[in-house]
């Protein structure tokens, strides 16, 4: 089992996995990539929930962008309940723009229309994950939720971030810790 990478006590670039006891239905069995984490709070993108209300082409149309290439119809995902009108592209680091933030090994985040324009022309990054909205925590909130057994933390990898089998991500993320998710107790803090 690999060791979790912690930068100055913060978990940027790591993955949060919701415990079975997660009471918030928006995050039940969620897998979230932490894109930023500091004393000021945290921001992440949910990696395992589709958003079926809009397609990539419909999104481009709303933004007055016209695809000049068959994009293979990338899926639009639910990134979290905050600012659900705002788009975020997690992507491989083979293509970065000035506004891109590298958040982990081979993983970057761009939240500008410039990346969507590039993707619409068929010249986007090798791997990408498009989400509307994000998940956010205020100062100390995420740390408290982890301490209260709301989340497990695992190292990010390309398959968890960019893999298309959304239903399998929760189990795969927990599997990285080396145990069967069925062994997780539904009651925390009880002996």
pLDDT digits (tens, 9 = 90+) for 65-94: 876 666 566 788 999 999 998 999 999 999
Domain ranges of the chain: 14-183
**For a pLDDT cut of 70, what percent of the chain falls above it?**
85
pLDDT above 70 (res 1): no
What's phi and psi for 43, nearest 5 deg?
A: -140, 135
Q: What is the distance between the alpha carbons of residues 65 and 59, in angstroms, rounded to a whole number?
A: 9
pLDDT score at 178: 84
User: pLDDT tens for residues 125-156?
Assistant: 999 999 999 999 999 999 999 999 899 999 99
Token digits for 100? 């891109």
C-alpha distance from residue 186 to each of 18, 22, 182 (Å): 12, 9, 10
pTM of the model: 0.87
pLDDT above 60 (res 98): yes
pLDDT score at 7: 55
pLDDT score at 56: 83
Please report, for the chain, how many H helices and E strands are present, in that order.
5, 9
**For a pLDDT cut of 90, what percent of the chain falls above it?**
59
DSSP SS3 for 168: helix
Least reliable range by pLDDT among 48-52, 106-110, 160-164: 48-52
8 Å CB contact between 173 and 160: yes
Q: What is the distance between the alpha carbons of residues 12 and 35, in angstroms, rounded to a whole number?
A: 6
For tokens 């921001």, name the residue. Answer: 43
Choose the CATH number for 14-183 among 3.40.1740.10, 3.90.1150.10, 3.30.420.40, 3.20.20.450: 3.40.1740.10
Rounded to an integer, the average pLDDT of 95-106 is: 92
What's phi and psi for 162, nearest 5 deg?
A: -105, -5
pLDDT score at 120: 86
pLDDT score at 188: 46
pLDDT score at 181: 62
Rounded to an integer, the average pLDDT of 101-116 is: 92
């Amino acid at each position: 089992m690999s060791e979790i990478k912690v930068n100055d006590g913060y978990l940027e670039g790591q993955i949060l996995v919701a415990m079975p006891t997660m009471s918030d239905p928006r995050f039940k069995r969620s897998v979230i990539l932490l894109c930023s984490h500091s004393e000021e709070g945290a921001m992440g993108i949910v990696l395992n929930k589709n958003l079926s209300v809009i397609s990539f082409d419909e999104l481009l149309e709303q933004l007055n962008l016209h695809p000049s290439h068959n994009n293979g119809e990338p899926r639009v995902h639910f990134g979290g309940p905050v600012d659900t009108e705002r788009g975020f592209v997690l992507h491989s680091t083979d293509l970065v723009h000035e506004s891109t933030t590298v958040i982990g090994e081979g993983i970057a985040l761009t939240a500008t229309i410039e990346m969507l324009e590039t993707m619409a022309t068929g010249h986007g990054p090798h791997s990408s994950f498009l989400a509307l909205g994000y998940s956010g925590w205020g100062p100390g909130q995420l740390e408290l939720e982890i301490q209260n057994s709301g989340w497990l933390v695992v190292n990010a990898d390309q398959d968890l971030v960019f893999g298309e089998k959304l239903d399998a991500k929760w189990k795969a993320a927990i599997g990285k810790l080396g145990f069967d998710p069925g062994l997780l107790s539904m009651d925390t803090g009880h002996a």
